[in-house]
Chains A and B, each alone.
Chain A
């Protein structure tokens, strides 16, 4: 991974700005963490405004560098969101499959993005915490998950760990319903579990496939003509170096 990044020409690495939106406590930060690194303890940093993370990802012969803005979910931070989603090429709107209102909130985010954000933005809808609604084997893990404190954000306070037989009852958003909505609104759709890792990498891979990479490349090349562009490659090199250590556990897309 690291070899690929440094070995190939610098212009092969495409920078993609991605923003995560969704109601508080649906697990946005956990999804990003699962994607960026597997160390859960690494980021217990609370999200004020937005947390900023980067991750490289390979797609066929291209290297994508995701710049991820993980926004705060609290309602009052809503008015700050445009600052983070402007110029974003991709967005992941997260909801919680065990909480019907979180899908409603997700829909308003989608509406807002489709009207206010970059017109070519690729939007993915992700129903998180799917581990909570999976029967038997997964249910065992979900019960233990509640002890995992807030880092996983799955443990919504007051939510009793489910009995295995009740697992499907916890689900408030049927997969079919969300999928139908996603199709209608032209979104990528996934059900994910930041806890088990299910579906997380796929979200980012599918986004990578759908993004018009050539277009982005062309526009960033165009920008190279600007004054101060000399600094661009320099600063990029720095960040590439810095990411080398992390590069090892980058996703194998």
Chain B
């Protein structure tokens, strides 16, 4: 067995607050590492949102936008009504001044001055009391920020940002730059006057990929400089439509790293956790973890064509970032493909920036992609497939027909953000969009690739052909998309530009909401398939199934899985690298080993006496409350099955252990029980052990009806000591005249033969060892654990809130109370053996049968056992039917809920068909796409800029500010309004 992972089941859909955090790229304090100076827990600052109209002061030409202002301490965030045009997330500590504006009556407006002098005006359009409340909360939150002392941190932090240098009138960095943005003096970053300098990537020293002229670095940088001057930068960047358009034409090399961290929100993590990266490296210096070796292997295989990764500079940085990540997130550790991602971003950003960006990618943008189960990857592949079926049905159907699997090509696209698939310059432009617009970009680009290659895809015959076609396409991305067009402007459009146009124009219908909804839809399917895959491989990897069938072992696995879900075992600890390890030492593969607590749960699923089943009747219902029993016997069993003496059990141990008891006949069972109690395995029980053994039997029989077992045990004890004394070795020579009372309670006393004799002297015990002991181990289907309902329709949501375990308990308690008052409350312990239903007194046996006679009798009972095992209906259970009916009731109402989904799905497929019809390719706006002819443009910079902007316009979407003309007027007034005195 490898490892059993249950964390997939613990997944919870993000609630409204978490969705807001996701949308605004604000780190939640839970994942953002120990945020220093964060408010103490329990003192949770209040959140609020309010309708507002945003206008920007200064030299801006921006229209006012209506939207919602969110107070999410320690952030203030805004989004326009269409949820895409305008958006910002400001840390409160960047706000230097808030003023209420003196304007026309009935207008409630606030002016925010940010630390670098930018001024934004927000008109609160909600009712007066709401606005007042918002202001109150805002001022409270601002005070808290002031106390936390973060306001002082803003200015030093801004010095680490390249953009701050860029917007200075006379940039000190410009003189030291090559055309591509790398440094002329070879990256020796010398801060003037010892001030910290801005962060940058390996590209500063090793040059950035691509031809700077072709990339039109200079004009892009100029456009960004203008934008950043007016709209804020790094922590305070306001994202107006122009920002997204500039991202879509590709970020300039020099600014790229900082923009990535700004757009993805990882900059907030870096800001809130100063020194964390260095600290984690220092804390783990010289330490190894499970990932260390895996990382080491891949260091030289990460973008090896880039010169930095042929030198220690690059390799060292890559190693440190990946190791720091694996130490911070030991559960994820390191996954192949993270090396590619980290290597790529390190070209443009510092190690610290890359560390936090990696965190955001793995945690928020692509959750579960690089986890040990890679469930996020599998899920998104499933989502992609469903989007292809919806948007490109012809291709999807053809792939099914020729049995080509989409994922063979698309999996690396998603896992490495196309960096491993396309030439780097192009991949980075997709990464630009990915950080600005989120994971939907990966899907949009993937769909566009398939659509553009549609005709050729309909010719492929197998997976190999698919891969070849994709490879050829990617290597031709720099070529003209329309080489034969008479129009030179059309000829100038590259295939890559075509790809982006198709991605964002024709697949604009793919929104974040689409992706989230699809992920929700397929999540359970993926979880189930991962779980059944790991179940199958766990069973396959067993060294032996012993005498069990595969299905029976499956039931053992189910019981184990359930136990692990409830009581997760500790994370497998990597044994410290022992100095004494010889090369012969067999390295262990990590596997799930359960501890005693989990074992008790496991055993309670299988063994009737390892649980307390209380049958509760209270006049309204009858139900079974199951509790896990605790007893020395169960602990004893745990150590008895710990064949490798490690204080924990593996799946194999459990199977072997169960095999040791479930197939036994009478004699074998007696021996098994004897050995279980013979701690030192010397073939003798001590007197103490005889007592313990009796206690074990008492425990097993604790819920049996009548006195039969009690009597049997007391007879057993008296017989055991009588025979034991009689057969003591000393007495043999002395003709039994001298009984030896001297024997200590911890010395060898009773051997197996004597024990057998004593057991067989009693009919009750004999029948127990003959059949009942083995039969008390039952492999029954474990009731399926519910996965959180995926279709969180109103009904589903309602049900899942109602049906939570807590509520069930509450309801049970309530009905019990009522039952008690009307005198109908009754609790019966379900017997573990249940052989004797009425109080009857079996006779003690006079004579002992010969073992040979017994053997034949028990053989037949063994076969009976096996048949009852198979049907898994226990003949000895006393109250089976009523109780299962109760549990069925609850499950049927759950299944009703899931039945509802197919109907929903049907209507959905209609929508899909409609969408597909909409997806018909619209004619290319060739005229919109910019003039790319480099030679013509080189002389006049103005024209170059126009060219870039043309390209920008190609992406222009209608942005609806959602503001009337009158509002616009008002906003203008407000910008110039005086604060209230």
Nearest-neighbour CB distance to chain B for A56, whole angstroms, equals 13
A108 touching B540, Cβ below 8 Å? yes
Q: Which residues of B contact A87 (CB under 8 A)?
A: 403
Interface string of B258-296 (1 = CB under 8 A from A): 000000000000000000000000000000000001101
Bound-state Cα–Cα, A17 to B460, Å = 16
* Interface stretch of the complex, out of A5-13, A42-50, A124-132: A42-50
Bound-state Cα–Cα, A101 to B541, Å = 14
B533 touching A150, Cβ below 8 Å? no
Within 8 A of A (CB), among B281-334: 293-294, 296-302, 304-305
Bound-state Cα–Cα, A32 to B301, Å = 16
Q: Which residues of A contact B296 (CB under 8 A)?
A: 157
A115 at the binding interface (Cβ < 8 Å) = yes
Q: Which partner residue on chain B sits nearest A47 by CB separation?
A: B336
Nearest-neighbour CB distance to chain B for A235, whole angstroms, equals 5
B405 at the binding interface (Cβ < 8 Å) = yes
B459 touching A234, Cβ below 8 Å? yes
Bound-state Cα–Cα, A105 to B335, Å = 19
B584 at the binding interface (Cβ < 8 Å) = yes
A231 at the binding interface (Cβ < 8 Å) = yes
> Given the known A-B contacts A79-B530, A231-B461, are A48 and B537 also in contact in the complex, defined by CB atoms under 8 Å?
no
Within 8 A of A (CB), among B495-543: 530, 533-534, 537, 540-541
Bound-state Cα–Cα, A108 to B594, Å = 23
Nearest-neighbour CB distance to chain B for A34, whole angstroms, equals 17
Q: Which partner residue on chain B sits nearest A73 by CB separation?
A: B336
Q: Which residues of A contact B583 (CB under 8 A)?
A: 169-170, 172
Q: Which residues of B contact A228 (CB under 8 A)?
A: 398, 401-402, 458-459, 461
B403 touching A49, Cβ below 8 Å? no
B459 touching A24, Cβ below 8 Å? no
Count how many chain B residues have C-beta atoms less than 8 Å from C-beta atoms of the other chain.
Answer: 55
Q: Which residues of A contact B948 (CB under 8 A)?
A: none
> Given the known A-B contacts A79-B378, A234-B459, are A48 and B294 also in contact in the complex, defined by CB atoms under 8 Å?
no
Q: Which residues of B contact A234 (CB under 8 A)?
A: 459
Q: Out of B401, B403, B586, which one reaches A101, CB within 8 Å?
A: B586
Q: How many A-B residue pairs have CB under 8 A?
A: 132
Interface string of B428-463 (1 = CB under 8 A from A): 000000000000000000000000000000111111
Bound-state Cα–Cα, A235 to B467, Å = 12
Q: Out of A67, A76, A104, A105, which one reaches B374, CB within 8 Å?
A: A76
B412 touching A48, Cβ below 8 Å? yes
> Given the known A-B contacts A76-B372, A228-B398, are A83 and B407 also in contact in the complex, defined by CB atoms under 8 Å?
yes
Q: Which residues of A contact B143 (CB under 8 A)?
A: none
Bound-state Cα–Cα, A108 to B225, Å = 58
B408 at the binding interface (Cβ < 8 Å) = yes
Q: Which residues of A contact B407 (CB under 8 A)?
A: 49, 80, 83
A231 touching B460, Cβ below 8 Å? yes
Bound-state Cα–Cα, A170 to B402, Å = 48
B12 at the binding interface (Cβ < 8 Å) = no
Bound-state Cα–Cα, A84 to B404, Å = 11
Q: Which residues of A contact B371 (CB under 8 A)?
A: 76
Q: Which residues of B contact A49 (CB under 8 A)?
A: 407-408, 411-412, 415
A180 at the binding interface (Cβ < 8 Å) = no
Count how many chain A residues have C-beta atoms less than 8 Å from C-beta atoms of the other chain.
Answer: 55
A181 at the binding interface (Cβ < 8 Å) = no
B464 touching A77, Cβ below 8 Å? no
Q: Which partner residue on chain A sits nearest B293 by CB separation?
A: A157
Interface string of B1-23 (1 = CB under 8 A from A): 01000000000000000000000
Q: Out of B301, B373, B458, which one reaches A44, CB within 8 Å?
A: B301
Q: Which partner residue on chain B sits nearest A155 by CB separation?
A: B297
Within 8 A of B (CB), among A62-110: 67, 72, 74-80, 83-84, 86-87, 99-101, 104-105, 108
Interface string of A201-244 (1 = CB under 8 A from B): 00000000000000000000001001011011011001100100
> Given the known A-B contacts A46-B420, A76-B374, are A239 and B459 also in contact in the complex, defined by CB atoms under 8 Å?
no
Q: Which residues of A contact B465 (CB under 8 A)?
A: 235, 239
Nearest-neighbour CB distance to chain B for A170, whole angstroms, equals 8
A25 touching B297, Cβ below 8 Å? yes
Within 8 A of A (CB), among B330-351: 335-337, 339-340
Within 8 A of A (CB), among B388-441: 398, 401-403, 405, 407-408, 411-412, 415-416, 420
B373 touching A79, Cβ below 8 Å? yes
B870 at the binding interface (Cβ < 8 Å) = no
> Given the known A-B contacts A48-B337, A79-B373, are A115 and B464 also in contact in the complex, defined by CB atoms under 8 Å?
no
Q: Which residues of A contact B463 (CB under 8 A)?
A: 67
Nearest-neighbour CB distance to chain A for B554, whole angstroms, equals 14
Q: Which residues of A contact B416 (CB under 8 A)?
A: 48
B935 at the binding interface (Cβ < 8 Å) = no
Q: Which of A49, A72, A104, A234 has the most CB of B within 10 A?
A: A49
Q: Out of A52, A67, A74, which one reaches B336, CB within 8 Å?
A: A74
Q: Which residues of A contact B468 (CB under 8 A)?
A: 238-239, 242
> Given the known A-B contacts A80-B374, A112-B540, A150-B298, are A48 and B340 also in contact in the complex, defined by CB atoms under 8 Å?
yes
A193 at the binding interface (Cβ < 8 Å) = no
Bound-state Cα–Cα, A153 to B299, Å = 12
B458 touching A52, Cβ below 8 Å? no
B301 touching A101, Cβ below 8 Å? no
Q: Which partner residue on chain B sits nearest A234 by CB separation?
A: B459
A150 touching B300, Cβ below 8 Å? yes
Q: Which residues of A contact B43 (CB under 8 A)?
A: none
B806 at the binding interface (Cβ < 8 Å) = no
Nearest-neighbour CB distance to chain A for B384, whole angstroms, equals 14
Q: Which residues of B contact A45 (CB under 8 A)?
A: 301, 420
Q: Which residues of B contact A170 (CB under 8 A)?
A: 583
Bound-state Cα–Cα, A67 to B461, Å = 13
Q: Which partner residue on chain B sits nearest A86 by CB separation?
A: B405
Nearest-neighbour CB distance to chain B for A4, whole angstroms, equals 21
Within 8 A of A (CB), among B195-211: none
Q: Out of B302, B459, B584, B589, which one reaches A46, CB within 8 Å?
A: B302
B304 touching A76, Cβ below 8 Å? no
Q: Which partner residue on chain B sits nearest A158 by CB separation?
A: B293
> Given the known A-B contacts A48-B336, A49-B408, A150-B297, are A101 and B587 also in contact in the complex, defined by CB atoms under 8 Å?
yes
Interface string of A140-178 (1 = CB under 8 A from B): 000000000111010001100000000001101000000
Nearest-neighbour CB distance to chain A for B221, whole angstroms, equals 33
Q: Which residues of A contact B337 (CB under 8 A)?
A: 46, 48
Within 8 A of A (CB), among B616-638: none
Bound-state Cα–Cα, A235 to B339, Å = 34
Bound-state Cα–Cα, A151 to B335, Å = 19
Q: Out of A72, A104, A108, A231, which one reaches B459, CB within 8 Å?
A: A231
Q: Which partner residue on chain B sits nearest A78 by CB separation?
A: B537
A76 touching B301, Cβ below 8 Å? no
> Given the known A-B contacts A24-B297, A108-B541, are A74 and B335 also in contact in the complex, defined by CB atoms under 8 Å?
yes
Q: Which partner residue on chain A sits nearest B410 by CB separation?
A: A49
Q: Which residues of A contact B2 (CB under 8 A)?
A: 75
Q: Which residues of A contact B458 (CB under 8 A)?
A: 228, 231
A17 touching B464, Cβ below 8 Å? yes
Bound-state Cα–Cα, A89 to B158, Å = 59
A111 at the binding interface (Cβ < 8 Å) = yes
A54 at the binding interface (Cβ < 8 Å) = yes
- Enumerate chain B interface residues (CB-CB to A < 8 A): 2, 293-294, 296-302, 304-305, 335-337, 339-340, 371-374, 378, 398, 401-403, 405, 407-408, 411-412, 415-416, 420, 458-465, 467-468, 530, 533-534, 537, 540-541, 583-584, 586-587, 589
| A-B contact sample (12 more), CB < 8 A, given A76-B335, A151-B300 | A25-B297, A44-B300, A46-B301, A49-B407, A49-B412, A52-B467, A54-B464, A108-B537, A111-B540, A111-B541, A228-B398, A235-B460
Closest 6 CB pairs of A and B: A231-B459, A46-B301, A44-B304, A67-B464, A48-B412, A150-B300
Pairs A–B under 8 Å by Cβ, sample size 24? A15-B462, A17-B464, A44-B304, A46-B298, A46-B302, A46-B340, A48-B340, A48-B415, A49-B408, A49-B415, A74-B336, A76-B335, A76-B374, A77-B336, A77-B374, A104-B589, A108-B541, A111-B541, A112-B537, A150-B298, A150-B301, A228-B458, A228-B461, A238-B468
